[in-house]
Amino acid sequence: MDLKGKRAVVTGAGQGIGRAIALKLAQRGADLIVDDINPQTVKRTAQEVQALGTKAFAVVADVSQRADVEEIVKVALRELGGVDILVNNAGIARSALLLRLKDEQWDEVLNVNLKGIFYCTQLVAPQMIKQRYGKIINISSIYGRIGTIGDANYAASKAGIVGFTKSVARELARYNINVNAIMPGLIDTPLLRGIPDKYLQPMIEDVPLGRVGKPEDIANVVAFLASDDASYMTGAILEVTGGWNM
């Protein structure tokens, strides 16, 4: 229970990787604010966390809206008294080949995946600075390093997270705040299931460990980065891919 008494915010926690992260942090003893844009799924995650014996409060908020993120922080302060761990997980894909990519698809993906991380980090950071303690973990993607056909907007947003993570890690280091990012590979979630099988199967065959990842594979690494075992890590970008595209 190395996170006992710690207060965590996880965005996009209604399903997939975010849900697994919320459950893992709760298993380690953390109390949680779980956010999602989807009211049904986020309530379900909060109930699952509570069943593990820690506190959980569901907030329905769109991370790309500053006012919504202000609400997340308000609830965290009111219900938990502060934030020790922020996991910026919410992310979307709106796939199209470059020549067909619409302004709306570009803006939507950049707004959720990148501006959302900016808002959450900027609004949570003052608490962490005040208490001289914080762990910020950003969920990027291996596509942020290698790129991919049909998702230039997504890959650009995930590469942007790398620059953001390293810059904020430098800025906040003096306050004992660690800022790191994870680049997942192919992880079995509704997002991945959106990829047509004829593209997905060859990719899976190319993974040295021979399987897609489980959401828990990412959650385990988040739990490590959220703990004091990782206190000498900042600005690191960890690839959790089963060796895919190493």
Residues 221/195, Cβ–Cβ less than 8 Å: no
What is the Rg, in whole angstroms, of the alpha carbon atoms belonging to the chain? 17
Q: Which residue lies nearer to ligand NAP by CB, 14 or 134? A: 14
Enumerate the active-site residues.
Answer: 154
Residues 226/6, Cβ–Cβ less than 8 Å: yes
Q: Which stretch binds ligand NAP (CB under 6 A): 23-31, 46-54, 122-130, 183-191?
A: 183-191
Among 6, 16, 33, 76, contact with ligand NAP (rule: CB under 6 A): 16
Among 10, 159, 186, 219, contact with ligand NAP (rule: CB under 6 A): 186
Q: Which amino acid is at 66?
A: R
87 part of the interface to ligand NAP, by CB under 6 A: no
Q: Closest Cα partner for 154 from 195, 108, 123?
A: 108
Among 69, 189, 225, 234, contact with ligand NAP (rule: CB under 6 A): 189
Residues 6+ apart with CB under 8 A from 188: 212, 213, 214, 215
State CA 225 to chain mean position distance: 12
Q: Which residue lies nearer to ligand NAP by CB, 22 or 172? A: 22
**Scanning residues 63 to 82, which ones bind ligand NAP (CB under 6 A)?**
63-64
Q: Which stretch binds ligand NAP (CB under 6 A): 23-31, 37-45, 98-106, 230-238?
A: 37-45
Among 53, 190, 196, 202, contact with ligand NAP (rule: CB under 6 A): 190
Q: Which residue lies nearer to ligand NAP by CB, 129 or 191? A: 191
Among 30, 33, 62, 159, contact with ligand NAP (rule: CB under 6 A): 62
160 part of the interface to ligand NAP, by CB under 6 A: no
Q: Closest Cα partner for 63 from 43, 96, 33, 83?
A: 33
CA-to-CA distance for 94 and 180, rounded, in angstroms?
25
Query: 203, exposed or middle or buried, with CB in 10 Å at 0-12, 13-18, 19+?
Result: middle
12 part of the interface to ligand NAP, by CB under 6 A: yes
Q: Closest Cα partner for 58 from 83, 33, 89?
A: 33
191 part of the interface to ligand NAP, by CB under 6 A: yes
Q: Which residues bind ligand NAP (CB under 6 A)?
A: 11-12, 14-18, 35-38, 41, 62-64, 89-92, 112, 116, 139, 141, 184, 186-187, 189-192
